[in-house]
Amino acid sequence: SLEEGAIRALEDAILLLPEADKADYCRAKEEAPDVVQRDSNPLWFLKFEKFNTWDAAKRLAYYWKARCQAFQERAFLPMNQTGEGALGKTDVNMFSSGYYVFPGYDDEGRTVIVNDASRRKKKDAAAAMRHSFYLNHIAMQNEATIEKGVVFVVVLSRISLDIVGRASHERTAVAIKAFPLQSHCLHIIPNVKKARSFLDEAIPFIFHCFPRNKSNKFVHRCKDKNEIAETLEKHGISKTVLPENLGGNWSYDDFATWQETQIRIEWELPLGQLDTFGGKYQARPLSQLSQEEQVERKRRYNVLHSRRKRRRDRQESQSLERQVEDLHEEQEAIEEEGKRLQTLLARAQGLMAKLPE
């Protein structure tokens, strides 16, 4: 077929690349051919480059070079969030904070990714780079995203910018060069009040991290979350794929459900009540598993059960932390209003003092 011929041409083009550029791909192909096929399907790269085999070959080779740099000895393990693949347990725990989420698709089928780095409790540029690989790995499963691009929604706050740090530009540079994806549009939602100087510095920095598609970058300064939702709906992002803090109907509990569904698929476990695929995904029934495979399936179920319990505990803790943050914000607002009223009172008293008796 034409696709098979294009793949063969891509492989021939990779052989013509300099040794330093192709070495990691060749080693991955030799040591983990199934992972290479599953995680970096050559058709994704060919379709993205409009079947320009030379450009697709350079992109695919660079993907594996960058992946080896980011994951080191785990580079040839499957790209999943089981904690036993390319992402280790620490990576998975950080990813579980929900600072990046996949709430769904826009009106044209593009993957929507929402980033709120304030949900991430610490800086870890290396882990964030590995998360970037996983994010793009998930997005690449969607053909509409490869063809039309990714929709990013970034919640911008002082905390998020401090945690993201300057390393985010490096991650974006790698993503642009390595993945068969591009950013269709970027929506920035400032979550700061009366801080124009901060926004004047922060917004250009975020724009610098998304150098492609300059005409598709938007800053939405809205008075409340309902206005945010109405504004984004005009850009094809419905409330069903917007988090509740942005005026949508999507809950971070849905992210936990998505995570468990994704892990079950990656571990080839039955979905049970989590099945929303209409039977498109089917795990092998227990009767078809060997004794050893049955033991392994039971172990994986136990791991998921333990994670579910830890996640509930973490969610309760995060909920309390956010309540404290909300109270601090309310207190600051009250203090600001008190200062404003004190100023007005002093001004009124001054005017009263000038009036003739």
pLDDT tens-digit profile of 110-124? 999 998 877 876 778
Please check whether residues 257 and 315 belong to one and the same domain. no
Specify if 269 maps to a domain. Answer: yes
Domain that holds residue 155: 89-288
Question: Which one of 48, 74, 100 terminates a domain?
Answer: 74
Is 236 a member of any domain? yes
User: Is pLDDT above 60 for 164?
Assistant: no
Residue 80 covered by a domain: no
Q: Looking at residue 84, what is its pLDDT?
A: 92
Q: Are residues 207 and 268 in the same domain?
A: yes
Mean pLDDT along residues 14-19: 96
pLDDT at 63 over 90: yes
108 and 218 together in one domain = yes
Q: Which of 74, 109, 127 is the last residue of a domain?
A: 74
Q: Domain for residue 333, yes or no?
A: yes
In a domain, 322, yes or no: yes
Residue 175 has pLDDT above 90, yes or no: no
pLDDT category at 330 given cuts 50, 70, 90 is confident
Look at residue 21 in the predicted model and tell me its pLDDT.
96
Shared domain check, 294 and 280: no
Kindly state whether residues 310 and 328 are assigned to the same domain.
Answer: yes
Tell me which of 184 and 203 has the higher pLDDT: 184
Q: Which of 36-50, 290-304, 333-347 has the lowest mean pLDDT?
A: 333-347
3-state secondary structure the chain: CHHHHHHHHHHHHHHCCCHHHHHHHHHHHHHCHHHHHHHCCHHHHHHHCCCCHHHHHHHHHHHHHHHHHHHHHHCCCCCCCCCCCCCCHHHHHHHCCCCEEEEEECCCCCEEEEECHHHCCCCCHHHHHHHHHHHHHHHCCCHHHHHHCEEEEEEECHHHHHHHCCHHHHHHHHHHHHCCCCEEEEEEEECCCCCHHHHHHHHHHHHHCCCCCHHHEEECCCCCHHHHHHHHHCCCCCHHHCEHHHCCCECHHHHHHHHHHHHHHHCCCCCHHHCCCCCCCCCCCHHHCCHHHHHHHHHHHHHHHHHHHHHHHHHHHHHHHHHHHHHHHHHHHHHHHHHHHHHHHHHHHHHHHHCCC
What is the widest separation between alpha-carbon atoms in the chain? 100
Quick one: pLDDT at residue 171?
Answer: 78
User: Are 208 and 61 within one domain?
Assistant: no
Q: Are 247 and 229 in contact (CB under 8 A)?
A: yes
C-alpha to C-alpha distance for 298 and 293, rounded to whole angstroms: 9
Within a domain: residue 82? no
138-152, 205-219, 298-312 — which one is most confidently predicted on average? 138-152
Residues 114 and 253 both lie in one domain: yes
Q: Are residues 163 and 195 in the same domain?
A: yes
**Does residue 183 contact residue 211 with C-beta atoms inside 8 Å?**
no
Residue 318 belongs to some domain of the structure: yes
Instruction: Look up the pTM and report it.
Output: 0.79
Q: What is the mean pLDDT of the chain?
A: 85
Q: How many domains in the chain?
A: 3
> Are residue 177 and residue 207 in the same domain, yes or no?
yes
* Dihedral pair phi/psi, residue 251, rounded to 5°: -105, 150
Chosen domain end from 263, 288, 313: 288
Q: Considering the domain boundaries, does residue 27 fall inside one?
A: yes
Residues 11, 104: one domain?
Answer: no
User: What is the pLDDT, as a whole number, of residue 322?
Assistant: 67
Query: Of 136-140, 164-168, 204-208, where does the model show the most confidence?
Result: 136-140
Same domain, 247 and 348: no
Is the distance from CB of 153 to CB of 114 less than 8 angstroms? yes
**Cross-strand bridge partners of residue 218:** 187
Poorest-confidence range of 115-119, 206-210, 247-251, 280-284?
A: 206-210
Instruction: Assign residue 145 the CATH number of its domain.
Output: 3.40.525.10
Residue 258 has pLDDT above 80, yes or no: yes
45 and 194 share one domain:
no
